[in-house]
Amino acid sequence: MESKTHKLANPSLLGKPIKIIEGFEAVVELQASDEMKVDEQGLVHGGFTFGLADYAAMLAVNHPYVVLGESHARFLAPVRVGELMKANARVSKTEGRKIVVSVDVYANDKCVLKADMICFKLERHVLSN
């Protein structure tokens, strides 16, 4: 299980890879921490849930220059501080450099986000001139 992309990703912000099968699937876990909350009730900002899904999609492709081009995401339930989120990402379609990755994120065994991530394998780093 070797990550070829996003090698400096902070596991406390984006998650910890649990499984990577290059070009096929990835599983990533993220503990919802107090720093992610947006109110006194302990509601976690959806950006962290989405970031986990995005990171899992990148690892499912696992190419050094993979980027997210588009996503179609549905938030299905809230996440609370203390919950362990788990993203399951699976490549569902490949057309040349374009790869569609389906991602489901769970917290405490309930699905909190479903997304289709449209990724692209680039020939060089997106910030290269």
Greatest pairwise CA separation for the chain in angstroms:
47
Under a CB-based contact definition with an 8 Å cutoff, are residues 3 and 59 in contact?
A: yes
Given pLDDT bands bounded at 50, 70 and 90, which one contains residue 115? very high
Band of the pLDDT at 82, cuts 50, 70, 90? very high
Taking residue 114's Cβ as centre, other Cβ atoms within 10 Å add up to 15
How far, in Å, CA of 41 to CA of 55, rounded? 27
Does position 122 have pLDDT exceeding 80, yes or no? Answer: yes
State pTM to two decimals: 0.95
> Does the structure show a pLDDT above 80 at 129?
no
pLDDT at 1: 78
pLDDT attached to residue 111: 98
pLDDT of residue 98: 97
Neighbours of 28 (CB within 10 A): 29
pLDDT tens-place string over residues 19-75: 999 999 999 999 999 999 999 999 999 999 999 999 999 999 999 999 999 999 999
CATH 3.10.129.10 is right for the domain spanning 11-121: yes
* In the chain, domain spans: 11-121
Which is it for the CA torsion 3, 8, 9, 15, positive or negative? positive
